[in-house]
Structure 1
Amino acid sequence: MTSLHAFGDDVLDDLDAVGLVERIQSGTVSVPEVVDAAIARVEAVNPDLNAVAWSAFDRARVLARDPHGGYFAGIPTFVKDNVDVAGMPTQQGSDAYVARPAKEDGDFARMYLATGLLPLGKTQLSEFGFSASAEHARLGSVRSPWHRDHTAGASSAGSAALVAAGAVPLAHANDGGGSIRIPASVNGLVGLKPTRGRLAQDKMMRDMPVRIVSDGVLTRTVRDTAAFYREAEKVYRNLALAPVGDITRPGHHRLTVAVVTESLGRGASPEVRELALKTAALLEELGHRVTEVDAPVPDSFRDDFLLYWSMLAMAIVRAGRLNQGRSWDAAKLDELTLGLARHCRRNAWRLPLSISRLARSKARSARFFEEYDVCLTPTVATATPLLGHLDPAGGYEQTIERLMDWVAFTPVQNATGEPAISLPLATTAAGLPQGMMFAAGAGREAMLLELAYELEAAAPFARIQAV
């Protein structure tokens, strides 16, 4: 294993965000010390990981002298480079244009930073978030700190790599097809995609015909994820959803759990299926009622989701000059972005029906969760691929087939809007993390977090510093 991490005996130690909050509040360490240590860790690992899209270290040091209020006051973080943060460019993993610094925080960043989190910069992603691996001919590839020959997974790769490597305790991620949960799986992290509308979102995300994108965080512990949602709820509260509240321990109710190991016409690999069934067996040992079932997904879902995904690419390509100005150069777009746009142009006549079916998937899934509390699947269908396997330079047809083979489970909740969490409960024969995903009905994040606490205690998560 060629793992890489920054854990050491500085003021960050191996603490999660909640642990750092406690040390800062006790006066044991200061915010400037914490920020300086995080910057040093980022500088140590980023040359190998290629996780940082934009650094704002000098600004962070200034903010550290008088951090914003909030529970997470002064805790260092990063924001994924597809949401606006005032004073930082939003490059979206592409070099097809030159981004200017944003004039103000977007709606999500405003909520996120109001919790007290202090941004050190922005993190690298796949071009416009379309690929499940951040690989780019000119911007480079984001590497897994667990094994630098492997992808760090999905468009939130940069955030995941920095959290897993110990540079910061938590970072922003967002998820339009699995990009909170997939990098969580690949990097041994906790990744909760919340219910649609749970958190504040930027206007572009809110205006989608089917709002498939959700923002959230990647963390190393369940309590950090739970604390983030508790604090975010103090800033932004969707009154249409039951509150998450302050979840600090496992729940007492035994749950009915459906186990699914095949989805979107793709089955999990034999190794990953076996790991999922071992997780199911653990749930039974803990007293939950477990049943293996077929995926509650229609045969049309794969094609519908791909066409919707390609519609987003076509919109970006067509409006590039209008949105990005004279620097826009479509010739610099990667083959996946261009191939998706072509797919939409050729199949545009099917879009109305596809959008309608995706919108109706919420009702179908809600009926499923009237029978089951939770659905367990592998987060991804196979072990983490090597860099190059999903490289867009391989051509659209090859790349999209490989992506669909790997990402067979996560897109469902993007269409239905329901919550799902990936937990680092398994390890492959090669020693790499393999996440297991738990989905639930809309608004039931509290139940998922209670289950996550229980599983974290029963099967402690592997740590990179122990490799």
Structure 2
Amino acid sequence: MTNYTRRHFLRGTAATAALLPFASACAPVRALRATSLPSGDMDGVRMAQLISNGDVSSLEFTEAAIARAERVNPQINAIASKTYDMARVRAAESPAGTFGGVPTFIKDLMNWKNAPSFYGSRAFKDYVAEEDGVFATRWREMGVVSLGKSTTPEIGLISSTEPLVTGPTRNPWDLSRIPGGSSGGAAALTASRVTPFAHASDGGGSIRIPAACCGLFGLKPSRGALAGPQLDQPVELSVNHAVTLTVRDSAALFAAAEDPREGLTPTGRITGPASRRLKIAFAPEPTNGASLDSETRAGIERTADLCRSLGHEVVDWTVPMDGKAFQDEFLLLWAAGAAEFMQQAMAYSPGKAPEEILEPWTLGLAQDFMAKKDRFESAIAYLQAFEGEYHSWFDDFDVLLTPTVSTLPPAIGTQSPTGDFDETMKRVTDFVAFTAPMNVSGAASMSVPLQWTSGGIPVGSLFSGRRGDDGLLLALAYELEAAQPWIDRKPGILG
């Protein structure tokens, strides 16, 4: 789920490359042509290298990605709007940059100049951005070629991507299941190998949740680590980054967008694992009363064992927080965002009744805020104090390991924005029991696709650190990727 840019959203809202565990991404290519890449088995770093070397053109990679999108999107419904013609023009110009000429998608919560921005809502289905968002500007400077906007729930307010404006997005590993949210379209497209990575954002888990559901790597950067607007918010939740097939794409995207503020030390480009062994606190139990399903529990236990086998010290730990109290205060802030979005939507679509343009989930959150707004100041005080509490946990260890979500991805419709509000709330909060504390604290956190069920469904492992620990987590991710590679795992829809 993602916290949008509120008042400003309409204005712009030691493994080296040779050792990475994916031969197809690193194999020498001389006469390669886009048609020889039917399933997109290559990461963005390698694509950029080939384009720079003149082995493959940006336009060839772009046309191949468009062909893949047209083949799989009828099954996953992950594209909110297509900008193929704009992409072809940009690709033909061979844009320069770290990812010069590499095709991707931009999440429908971020403005990309001259592209539609629905924000996952029927209220804005005719809106076209006049300029790039702040973070989008940085991605344009990297040279990426956007093929369009990926789907998201209405203003990113729920953990499933089933907006009424575009219809439900489906998980490529099992089309009956959700891909997570709010970066569900980005994750479904990347997991389907349409593009090697896609823009994503995270205000309560919206990078990490869909990464877990779709078997991808998803890093939530520290607050203030990457380029972005300076927001006037009492608790700044949301950050922008990506979901990726490989760790090195995430690390390269991070370095290219890095613009640290508020005392953060620059991370730079992390290129491999570190020799340092970590003390990892293993805390698999949800703090809000939710329960893990058996396959999620088995998966996270296997991840703990993997970390032990790599020489890290793994200690059993119980998170010292009242999860239900935290959830109540966080949800009030979340509901305040829904109430503000409702006002913006009504101003943009005058004369329309709220229920004509906004979803029942959004309206329910807005109504919940109005009923409890006298508690808002105390909720903000609680959440601001929580940042220090969270960071104190790391006095005795380096990294916290939990599941990313409490169950396997549930069925489409289970978290529908049109369902009974109270029932949907219970289902959502149980599912996303682990991710929001890192948004409130501004901490670095990542979901790593280390486990799959016997039936082929991904199980994400959530590693979290302090604010500023992005480099530490990326180095650990390289080590985990080398020890237990995931690049060769592909959804069944790819054949």
The bucket for the TM-score relative to the shorter chain is over 0.9
Contact 1:222 1:456 in 2 (8 A): yes
DSSP-derived class of the 1:120 partner: strand
Choose from 207, 219, 231 the match for 1:192. Answer: 219
Tell me the equivalent position of 1:413.
Answer: 438
Contact 1:258 1:372 in 2 (8 A): yes
Indicate how the Cα distance of structure 1 residues 8 and 423 shifts in structure 2: closer, same or farther if over 3 A, else same: farther
Tell me the equivalent position of 1:251.
Answer: 274
Tell me the equivalent position of 2:359.
Answer: 334
In the alignment, structure 1 residue 265 sits paired with structure 2 residue 322: no
DSSP-derived class of the 2:418 partner: helix
Contact 2:177 2:412 in 1 (8 A): yes
In the alignment, structure 1 residue 133 sits paired with structure 2 residue 157: no
Q: C-alpha distance in 2, partners of 1:360/1:229?
A: 28
1:22 Cα deviation after fit: 1.9
Contact 1:49 1:161 in 2 (8 A): yes
Q: Which moved more, 1:260-269 or 1:25-34?
A: 260-269
DSSP-derived class of the 1:393 partner: coil
1:266 Cα deviation after fit: 2.2
DSSP-derived class of the 1:392 partner: coil
Choose from 24, 31, 54 the match for 2:51. Answer: 24
Choose from 285, 307, 311 the match for 2:336. Answer: 311
After superposition, where does 1:347-426 map in structure 2 within 5 Å?
Answer: 347-426=372-451
Q: C-alpha distance in 2, partners of 1:220/1:327?
A: 45
1:12 Cα deviation after fit: 7.2
In the alignment, structure 1 residue 75 sits paired with structure 2 residue 102: yes
DSSP-derived class of the 1:400 partner: helix
Tell me the equivalent position of 1:449.
Answer: 474
Q: C-alpha distance in 2, partners of 1:286/1:8?
A: 40
Q: Which moved more, 1:213-222 or 1:341-350?
A: 341-350
In the alignment, structure 1 residue 274 sits paired with structure 2 residue 298: yes
Give the alignment's TM-score, normalised by structure 1: 0.94
Tell me the equivalent position of 2:69.
Answer: 42
In the alignment, structure 1 residue 238 sits paired with structure 2 residue 261: yes
Tell me the equivalent position of 1:101.
Answer: 128
Residue by residue over 1:180-221, the C-alpha shift from the partner in whole angstroms, topping out at 9 and shown as x without a partner, is: 001100111000000001122246xx2222111111101001
Indicate how the Cα distance of structure 1 residues 416 and 270 shifts in structure 2: closer, same or farther if over 3 A, else same: same
In the alignment, structure 1 residue 289 sits paired with structure 2 residue 313: yes
Contact 1:192 1:216 in 2 (8 A): yes
Contact 2:40 2:194 in 1 (8 A): no
Indicate how the Cα distance of structure 1 residues 426 and 176 shifts in structure 2: closer, same or farther if over 3 A, else same: same
Partner AA of 1:116 in structure 2: G
Residue identity over aligned pairs, in percent, reads 39
Tell me the equivalent position of 2:18.
Answer: none
- Structure 2 alignment gaps of length 5 or more: 1-33
DSSP-derived class of the 2:194 partner: coil
Residue by residue over 1:385-404, the C-alpha shift from the partner in whole angstroms, topping out at 9 and shown as x without a partner, is: 01011112221111110001
Partner AA of 1:396 in structure 2: F
Contact 1:258 1:292 in 2 (8 A): yes
Output the aligned Cα RMSD: 1.8
Tell me the equivalent position of 2:151.
Answer: 124
Indicate how the Cα distance of structure 1 residues 308 and 120 shifts in structure 2: closer, same or farther if over 3 A, else same: same
Contact 2:40 2:196 in 1 (8 A): no
Residue by residue over 1:40-67, the C-alpha shift from the partner in whole angstroms, topping out at 9 and shown as x without a partner, is: 1111111111111111110111111113
Q: C-alpha distance in 2, partners of 1:423/1:88?
A: 31
Contact 1:421 1:437 in 2 (8 A): yes
- Structure 1 alignment gaps of length 5 or more: 1-6
Q: Which moved more, 1:171-180 or 1:340-349?
A: 340-349
Q: C-alpha distance in 1, partners of 2:52/2:343?
A: 50
Contact 1:96 1:327 in 2 (8 A): no
Residue by residue over 1:102-125, the C-alpha shift from the partner in whole angstroms, topping out at 9 and shown as x without a partner, is: 111111111122111111111110
Q: C-alpha distance in 1, partners of 2:54/2:35?
A: 20
How many matched pairs?
456
Q: C-alpha distance in 2, partners of 1:421/1:285?
A: 20
Residue by residue over 1:104-161, the C-alpha shift from the partner in whole angstroms, topping out at 9 and shown as x without a partner, is: 1111111122111111111110111111001134521000111111111111111111
